[in-house]
Amino acid sequence: MTSSWLDEVKWDESGLVPAIAQDAASGRILMMAWMNREALALTAETGVAHYYSRSRKRLWKKGEESGHLQHVRELRLDCDGDAIVMQIAQTGGIACHTGRESCFYRRWENGGWRVVDAVLKDPATLYRH
Amino acid sequence: MTSSWLDEVKWDESGLVPAIAQDAASGRILMMAWMNREALALTAETGVAHYYSRSRKRLWKKGEESGHLQHVRELRLDCDGDAIVMQIAQTGGIACHTGRESCFYRRWENGGWRVVDAVLKDPATLYRH
Three-state SS letters, A69-114: CEEEEEEEECCCCCCEEEEEEEHHHCCCCCCCCCCCCEEEECCEEE
Contact A58, A65 (CB under 8 A): no
* Mutation choice for B interface testing from A79, A88, A94, A107 by most B CBs within 10 A: A79
Residues of B in contact with A113 (CB under 8 A): 5, 8, 77
Between CA A52 and CA A39 the distance in angstroms is 6
Q: What domains does chain A contain, in order, with CATH numbers?
A: 4-125 (3.10.20.810)
Q: What pLDDT digit, counting tens, does each position of B63-116 carry?
A: 999 899 999 999 999 999 999 999 999 999 999 999 999 999 999 999 999 999
Q: Which of A31-35, A49-53, A62-66, B104-108 has the lowest mean pLDDT?
A: A62-66
Residues of B in contact with A5 (CB under 8 A): 108, 111-113
Between CA B129 and CA B125 the distance in angstroms is 9
Residues of B in contact with A105 (CB under 8 A): 76, 78-79
Closest CA–CA distance from residue B93 to any residue of chain A (Å): 16
Between CA B17 and CA B11 the distance in angstroms is 5
Residue B68 carries which DSSP code?
-
Whole-model pTM above 0.90? yes
Say what the pLDDT of residue B127 is.
76
Between chains, do A104 and B83 touch, taking CB under 8 Å as contact? yes
Between CA B71 and CA A30 the distance in angstroms is 22
Between chains, do B77 and A4 touch, taking CB under 8 Å as contact? no
Q: What pLDDT digit, counting tens, does each position of B21-54 carry?
A: 999 999 999 999 999 999 999 999 999 999 999 9
Q: Which of A22, A27, A113 shows the shortest C-beta gap to B77?
A: A113
ipTM: 0.95
**Residue in A1, A22, A2 with CA at minimum distance from that of residue A83:** A22
Q: Which residue of A has its CA nearest to B43?
A: A108
Query: Residue A1: pLDDT above 70?
Result: no
CB pairs under 8 A between A and B: 98
Q: Which of A27, A31, A108 shows the shortest C-beta gap to B75?
A: A108
